[in-house]
Amino acid sequence: MSVLAFVVIAFMLTAYVLLDGYDLGVAAIAPIVARTDDERCAAMQAIGPFWNGNEVWLIAAGGALFAMFPLAYASAFSGFYLPLMVMLWLLMGRGIALELREHFPSAIWHQFWDAMFSISSVLLIVIFGVALGNLIRGVPLDPQGYFNGTFAFLLNPFSLLVALFAVAALALHGAAFLAWRVEGAVAVRARKLGRALWIVCAVVLIATSGMAIVTRGGIIFSWAGIAGIVALSLLLGYQGASARNNDRSAFAATSAFVVALMAVAAGTIFPYLVPAYPAGTGGISIYSAAPSPPALLSALVVTIVGIVAVCIYSTVVWKKMI
């Protein structure tokens, strides 16, 4: 059951990054591809029907982690408490910007909310990237399983490189979404930007994979190799679809790219939820962090039912809005 619970949480986090990832990516590139007030309005309206539902996956994943692996939840909050609090404020900031923008007719207020939307979204991507980088690298834990380092420890070169990669990857994902969903000059600029970003993603992916092998030694060599082959092939698929102006296929390629990266990240840390630093020294595993079997089974049943409900809701929304 512990393995199934790990897979369920990995699925929920992947769904969040996949779905809210294009929201965040649109916000990251909006100042570049949407240059007038009307164009920025069109970019926000493109994600307007979806962003609330997309963030449900993050909230649900946090609740599922608390229910199914409480020790890992406590350990994560002990080490990432400040970043998590900043993340919550940024999530509120981008939501406020999206909802209040059209309630203020002034152009100055529009520019203020647009800036808040973009800045908070980019910072969110950076925080998520730093967190993921530290999970792959490992964090120092005391004998009780709590974080035993400093905030400065989290801002290491590897985690910052992963954060840079996250910004590039989600910006590409957002560019593909805008090219598909918006017409006119915004779509043209999004396609042009995407054709530059996929090269940036490829270069940073190779650098990140190489540093991951150096950081974790032979532990993730095979997974890093898989990441490089699969992700690079998907980037090439995006480039081919974009060159043909097949925006739907290009967005499908970036979606598969994001899913592949999350799958590799999950496979890299398995069976640990919070790997210890230095690499190979253990950590909080799915077996040590799980509650009693009856409690884990109950949490699994409730979580899976919730996932089905969210999937049905998301499908209905997409069918109505696409």
Contact 40, 110 (CB under 8 A): yes
More confident site: 49 or 291: 291
Share of the chain above pLDDT 90, in %: 19
From CA 265, how far away is CA 223, in angstroms rounded?
Answer: 8
pLDDT in tens, 178-215: 999 888 888 899 999 998 999 999 889 888 888 887 77
Tell me, what's the pLDDT at 306? Answer: 84
Tell me, what's the pLDDT at 92? Answer: 87
DSSP labels, 207-245: HHHHHHHHHHGGGGHHHHHHHHHHHHHHHHHHHHHHHTT
Helix (H) or strand (E) holding 283: strand 283-285
More confident site: 198 or 220: 198
- At 250, the amino acid letter reads A
CA 155 → CA 89, 125, 132, 171, 268, distances in Å? 20, 14, 12, 22, 20
140 cis-preceded (ω within 30 degrees of 0): no
Contact 83, 154 (CB under 8 A): yes
Residue 183: which domain range? Answer: 2-321
pLDDT over 60 at 218, yes or no: no
pTM of the model: 0.90
- Which of 81-90, 225-234, 237-246 has the lowest average pLDDT? 225-234
pLDDT over 80 at 142, yes or no: no
Burial (CB < 10 A; 0-12, 13-18, 19+), residue 222, is exposed
The total number of structural domains in the chain stands at 1
**Residue 75 — very low, low, confident or very high, per pLDDT cuts 50/70/90?**
confident
Mean pLDDT of 80-92: 83
pLDDT over 90 at 107, yes or no: no
Tell me, what's the pLDDT at 64? Answer: 86
Mean pLDDT of 232-257: 88
More confident site: 280 or 309: 309
Tell me, what's the pLDDT at 223? Answer: 59
**Residue 227 — very low, low, confident or very high, per pLDDT cuts 50/70/90?**
low
Using alpha carbons only, give the angle 113, 115, 117 rounded to the nearest 5 degrees.
70
CA 258 → CA 46, 92, 173, 286, distances in Å? 20, 24, 8, 24
